[in-house]
Amino acid sequence: MLNDYPVYATIATGDLARARAFYEGTLGFSAELVDEVDGVFYRSGGTRFLLYSSTFAGSPQQTVATWVVADADAAVAELADKGVTFEQYDLPGLKTDERGIAEMGPFRGAWFKDPDGNILNVGEGPVS
């Protein structure tokens, strides 16, 4: 039933103005729809995501959104140039290199946090 409908990520923030500065200024997104009560929608490729205010912002300890990119190395370099710091992991099945990039079979990706501590990912590999 649900597989016929689009899905989008929802990302919580404790400070909408600070989060907008990061998502718009650092990551380069443009607000598509702004509602200071309900949040901000951003278009990303053929999809969108919602940035919204919540007292639970930054509490998930897992990836909340992934952007599929053509070249993970280039995406990491560009974001690092904008001041983004990539996470370092040394876990069973997940070990990052000095840049923060991990290789997991056909998927290569790197993780970073937004100002609320939400874990975001850029990666390349199969998506279907």
pLDDT of residue 127: 66
pTM for the model: 0.88
Average of per-residue pLDDT across 111-115: 97
With beta carbons less than 8 A apart as the criterion, state whether 42 and 32 touch.
yes
Given a contact cutoff of 8 angstroms between Cβ atoms, the answer to whether 53 and 14 are in contact is: yes
Strands (E), 18-118: 31-35, 39-44, 47-53, 63-68, 90-91, 94-95, 101-104, 107-113
**To which H or E segment does residue 86 belong?**
none
pLDDT digit string, tens, across residues 62-110: 999 999 999 999 999 999 999 999 999 999 989 999 999 999 988 999 9
Convert the pLDDT of each residue in 21-69 to its tens digit.
999 999 999 999 998 778 999 999 989 999 999 999 989 889 999 999 9
CATH number at residue 93: 3.10.180.10
Confidence of residue 128 (pLDDT cuts 50, 70, 90): low
Q: How many domains does the chain have?
A: 1
What domain range includes position 11? 2-124
Cβ atoms within 10 A of the Cβ of 101, count? 19
Tell how far CA 24 is from the center of its chain.
13
